[in-house]
Structure 1
Amino acid sequence: MKFLRDTWLILQRQMLLLLRNPVWLFVGIFQPVMYLLLFAPLLRPALVPLGATTNAEMYRIFVPGLLVLLAIFGGLFQGFGLIAELRAGVIERSRVTPVSRLALLLGRSLRDVVSLLAQAVIITLLALAFGLRVYLGNLLLAFLLLGLIALMTSAVSYGVALKVRSEDALAPVMNTVAQPVLLLSGILLPLAFAPQWLKNVAQWNPFSWAVDGTRALFAGHLDDQRVWQSLLIMGVLTTLAVVWAAREFARSVR
C-alpha cells in the first residue's frame, strides 16, 4: 500500500508540474498533426495496393503507425527533464525522503503515459473527422498497447539519463536508437513495400510487432494473433525496462 501511495503522490506532483505548463502537450502533438494533415493524403495512392481505396481505410493504416511513433519518441526524450532535475538537486533531495525509489521512477513514467494518451485521443478525434472508423473496444486496447510502449521508452530514457547525466550525451544516444527503430517498424509506410531481407530484419524489431498489432486493432481484427503477440512482447519489455530503470534510480538516490 505504501508503494501505491508513494507512486500516486509522485504522479500527482508530476501532473501538477505538467499542467502548469500545458504548452508541452500542444508542442507534442504539433508534428503528428502535421503528418496527419499534410503527409497522410500523399499516401493514399501508395496504399491502394494494400486495399486502402477510401479515406477510412487509408487512415486505418496510417494513424496507428503515427500513434506508435508518438509513443516511442514521446518516451525516449523524457530523460532530458530528469537531467535538469539532477542538475537542480531535486533527485539529491529525494535521498532524505521515505518515498519508494521505484515510485520515484514510476510516478514520472506514468505522467508520461497520461500525457501520451491525451495526445493520442486528440489525434484520433481529428482522424475521425477525416474519415477514420474504429471500434471503441479495439481503440481502448490499442491505447493500452500505446501506454505500454510509452512506459517502456520513458523508463529506458530515465535509466540512460541517470547513466550519462548530460544532455550532450543523451541526445545522440536516443537518436541512434530512434532512427533504426523508425525505419524498421513500418510506422509511416507499411513494410509490405519493403524487400524481403528488410522484412526479415524488421522481425527482430519489437516495435514492428507493436505497429502490426495496433493496425490490426484499428482494422477491427481483435482475433488477429499479432494483437496478442504485440501485447505480450511489449508487456515483457516494459517490465524489464522498469526494473532496470528502477535500479538506476535506487543507486542515484541511495
Structure 2
Amino acid sequence: MRALRDTWLIFQHEAGWMVRNPALVALTLAQPIAYLILFAPFLKVAMANQGVETYAEAYQVYVPGLFVAMGLFGGLFSGYGLLSSLRAGVIDRCRVTPVSRTGLLLGRALTHVALIEVQAIVITIAALPFGLRVNPGHLLLAYLLLAMVVLLSTSVSYDIALLVRNDNSLGVLINTVGQPVSLLAGVLIPLTLAPLWVQDVALWNPFAWATDGLRALFAGNITDPAVWQGTLIAFTACAVSVAWSAHLFNREVS
C-alpha cells in the first residue's frame, strides 16, 4: 500500500508540472498529427491489393501503428528526464524522505503513460474526419494495451539511462534500438507487406505483437487471437522490464 501511495504522490507532482506547461505538451503532438495527415493516405494505395479500398480502412490500419510509434519513442526518450532529475539532485532530495524507490520510479513512468494516452485520444479525434470509426469498447481496450506499450518502453529507457548515465550515450542507444524495433513492429508499414524473413524476426518483438493486437481491435475483431496474444506478450514484457528497472533504481539510487 505504501508503494501505491508513493506512486500516486509522485505521479501527481510530475503530472502537475506537465499541466503547467501546456505549450510543451502541445508541441509533442506536432509530429504525430503530421504523420496522421501526410502518411496515412499512402496506405490506401500501398495496401490496395490486401483489401484496403477506402481512406477509412487505411486509417484503421495506420492509427494503431501510430499509437505504438508514439508509445515506443515517447517512452524511450523519457530517460532524459530521469537523467536531468539525477543531475539536478531531485532524486537525491527524495532519497532522504520516506518515499519508496519503486514508487519514485513508477510515479514518473506513469506520467509518461498518461501523456501518451492523452495524445492518443487527440489523434483518435483528429482521425474521425478522415473516416476512422472504431467501437468505443474496443477503443478503451486499445488504450489499455497502449498503456502497457508505453510503460514497457519507458522502463527500458530508464534501464539504459541508469546504466550509461550520459545524455549522448542515451541518445545513440535510443536511435540504435528504437528505429529497427519500430520497423520490425510494422508501425508505419504493416508487416504483411514485408518479406517472410522480416516477419519471422518480428515474432521476437513484443511491440509487433502489440501492434497486431491494436489493429485487430480497431478493425472490430476483438475475438482475433492477435488481441489476447498481443496483450499477454506486452503485459509479460512490461512486468519483466518494470521489475528490472525497479531493481536497477533501488541499486543505483540507494
Deviation of residue 42 (structure 1)?
A: 2.3
Deviation of residue 248 (structure 1)?
A: 1.5
Query: How many equivalent pairs are there?
Result: 254
- The alignment status of 1:105 with 2:108, answered yes or no, reads no
- The alignment status of 1:146 with 2:146, answered yes or no, reads yes
Unaligned runs of 5+ in 2: none
Q: Distance in 1 between matches of 2:174 and 2:167?
A: 10
Q: Corresponding residue for 2:157?
A: 157
Deviation of residue 23 (structure 1)?
A: 2.4
Q: Corresponding residue for 1:116?
A: 116
Q: Corresponding residue for 2:23?
A: 23
State the secondary structure of the residue aligned to 2:118: helix
Q: Deviations over 1:110-131 (max 9, x none)?
A: 1010000000000000111210
Deviation of residue 252 (structure 1)?
A: 2.8
TM-score by length of 2: 0.97
Moved over 3 A (4+): none
Q: Distance in 2 between matches of 1:159 and 1:17?
A: 23
The letter for the 2-side match of 1:77 is F
Unaligned runs of 5+ in 1: none
Q: Distance in 2 between matches of 1:223 and 1:32?
A: 29
Q: Corresponding residue for 1:217?
A: 217
Q: What is the RMSD of the two structures over their aligned residues, measured on CA atoms?
A: 1.0
Q: Distance in 2 between matches of 1:42 and 1:154?
A: 30
Q: Corresponding residue for 1:49?
A: 49
Q: Deviations over 1:49-90 (max 9, x none)?
A: 121111211110111101110010000010001111111111
The letter for the 1-side match of 2:41 is P
State the secondary structure of the residue aligned to 1:180: helix
Deviation of residue 186 (structure 1)?
A: 1.1
Stretch moving more, 175-184 or 135-144: 175-184
Q: Corresponding residue for 1:75?
A: 75
Q: Corresponding residue for 2:237?
A: 237
State the secondary structure of the residue aligned to 2:39: helix
State the secondary structure of the residue aligned to 2:29: helix
Q: Deviations over 1:76-107 (max 9, x none)?
A: 01000111111111111122111011000100
The letter for the 1-side match of 2:199 is K
Q: Corresponding residue for 1:63?
A: 63
State the secondary structure of the residue aligned to 1:223: coil
The letter for the 2-side match of 1:39 is F
Deviation of residue 2 (structure 1)?
A: 1.6
Q: Corresponding residue for 1:10?
A: 10
Q: Distance in 2 between matches of 1:92 and 1:250?
A: 12
Q: Distance in 2 between matches of 1:11 and 1:44?
A: 40
Give yes or no for contact 1:78–1:157 (8 Å, CA) kept in 2.
yes
Q: Distance in 2 between matches of 1:100 and 1:213?
A: 34
Give yes or no for contact 1:94–1:253 (8 Å, CA) kept in 2.
no
Deviation of residue 43 (structure 1)?
A: 2.2
Q: Corresponding residue for 1:125?
A: 125
Stretch moving more, 191-200 or 19-28: 19-28
Q: Distance in 1 between matches of 2:155 and 2:53?
A: 39
Q: Distance in 2 between matches of 1:23 and 1:188?
A: 27
The letter for the 2-side match of 1:23 is A
Q: Deviations over 1:120-158 (max 9, x none)?
A: 000000111210000001000010010000011111111
Q: Corresponding residue for 2:88?
A: 88
Q: Distance in 1 between matches of 2:122 and 2:59?
A: 15
The aligned runs of 1:191-206 (5 Å cut-off) are 191-206=191-206
Deviation of residue 159 (structure 1)?
A: 2.0
